[in-house]
Amino acid sequence: MRQSRSLHLLRKLAGYVLFALSAPIAKEYFVDIGFVDRFVRDCRSVFLAAARVLIVFLVLHASGGCNPVGKGDPSQRRYPLRVLCTTGMIADAVRAVGGPQVEVEQLLPPGVDPHLYRPSARDKWRINAADVVFFNGLRLEGRLEPLLVRRSRWMPVFAVTDVLRRDCPERLRPLDDNSGILDPHVWLELELWIRCVDFIAECLASVDPAHAASYRQRAQLYQAELRQLDEYARSRLRAIPEERRMLVTTHDAFGYFARRYGLSVATLQGLSTVDEIDLVTMNLLIEELVARRVPAVFVENSVSPRALEAVVAGCRARGHQLKIGGMLYADCLGLPGSPGETFLGAFRHNVDTIAEALR
């Protein structure tokens, strides 16, 4: 065991040295630290070639050959596995499936908008230190996704939506502009999220075959909870009158949710909160809300409520007493102690808030 740990540390050290001596990768790790450029410029011509040869030799010697990424000898694996997840929804699913075999860390803090998130140098070290990484995979994480895709070339990094692209691409919502961009908010349609949970179990099993049966068993238990929640949502939302079945939020996060439960959707932004809000779209939305006498609109926990507050004011100026129906958990979960601390709690909160406000 001591020898295995030494070899593991040797590989890590070799990787760090190579990164420090290679300018493009060093910039990615250390971002704007000027000493990296100076260090590389002074040392690279003398040591780079020799260092690379030495490091390749050490890595190959330590690994004993070319094992697949994330594999290795299961008898020498350290537990719990360090699993890094980008969002709370993914982290919750991985905790449920991984059980005591995993230690889950969430990269994006609760309440942070993943569309706008900019990875820091510390985030990059956290990714590199993990045994396994899970992310969304449909551009939800914005600037973070290209970094994760690059990491997947040499470490076990998994996009949970890959299973949907593979098995049911027709179920993914595209934009209307033929850009090829797909709606990343798949956790809001529980049938799709159940498939992603299966995929998480298979990914963990591929990295840790010794506990594959446990991962699959816990995935089935979590899926049973998701199916019960889906039935609860169907029952509650079915009672909303037909003329009020319009879900209005700031950005287009609830398309899958609305499709599943027979609601229409209207938003001020597209699939990303990066999209601009224009006055033409706002005025058209106000006119529709007044015409249909929709009673409520909904703010989101990671998005400023100002735009929807302006919509409410516009409707009231035209004689329609529109209200803010409550706050929904869209792109991220809530703070500890809130109804949205867990994914199951956040989803149930959304269902109850919508059903109460639109009844």
pLDDT at 286: 94
11-20, 231-240, 270-279, 319-328 — which is least confidently predicted?
Answer: 11-20
| CATH 3.40.50.1980 domain residues, the chain | 74-233, 239-358
C-alpha 169/C-alpha 162 separation (Å) is 9
pLDDT at 278: 79
The three-state secondary structure class of 272 is coil
Work out the pLDDT band at 145, boundaries 50, 70, 90.
very high
CA distances from 183 to 91, 267, 312, 327 (A): 20, 14, 27, 21
State residue 122 phi and psi, 5-degree precision: -65, -40
Q: What are 298's strand-pairing partners?
A: 326
Is the pLDDT reported for residue 138 higher than 80? yes
Is the pLDDT reported for residue 189 higher than 90? yes
Nearest by Cα to 167 from 143, 192, 130, 144: 192
pLDDT at 226: 98
On whether the CB atoms of residues 114 and 86 are closer than 8 A, the answer is yes
**190, two tokens:** 């529980």
Nearest by Cα to 121 from 38, 48, 19, 8: 19
Q: What is the mean pLDDT of residues 166-171?
A: 96
13-17, 108-112, 145-149, 274-278 — which is least confidently predicted?
Answer: 13-17
pLDDT at 347: 98
109-118, 165-174, 203-212, 324-333 — which is least confidently predicted?
Answer: 109-118
pLDDT at 252: 87
Work out the pLDDT band at 204, boundaries 50, 70, 90.
very high
Q: What is the mean pLDDT of residues 189-213?
A: 98
Is the pLDDT reported for residue 150 higher than 60? yes
Averaged pLDDT score across all residues of the chain: 83
pLDDT in tens, 47-74: 444 444 344 334 334 333 323 344 445 5
Is the pLDDT reported for residue 199 higher than 80? yes
Q: Is residue 80 reached through a cis peptide bond, with omega within 30 degrees of 0 on the bond before it?
A: yes
- Could you tell me the CATH superfamily of domain 74-233? Nitrogenase molybdenum iron protein domain (3.40.50.1980)
**265, two tokens:** 């959707």
Q: What is the mean pLDDT of residues 88-115?
A: 94
Listed in sequence order, the residues at least 6 apart from 334 whose beta carbon sits closer than 8 Å to its beta carbon are 110, 111, 301, 340, 341, 345, 346
Is the pLDDT reported for residue 177 higher than 80? no
pLDDT at 11: 55
pLDDT in tens, 217-262: 999 999 999 999 999 999 999 999 999 999 999 988 999 999 999 9
For 239-358, give the CATH class: alpha beta
10-14, 84-88, 180-184, 252-256 — which is least confidently predicted?
Answer: 10-14
C-alpha 213/C-alpha 225 separation (Å) is 19
Q: What is the mean pLDDT of residues 323-349?
A: 96
Q: What is the mean pLDDT of residues 153-179?
A: 92
The three-state secondary structure class of 233 is helix
Is the pLDDT reported for residue 339 higher than 60? yes
Q: What are 84's strand-pairing partners?
A: 105, 133
On whether the CB atoms of residues 320 and 292 are closer than 8 A, the answer is no
pLDDT in tens, 289-319: 999 999 999 999 988 899 999 999 999 999 9
What percentage of the chain exceeds 90 in pLDDT?
A: 65
Q: What is the mean pLDDT of residues 110-120?
A: 85
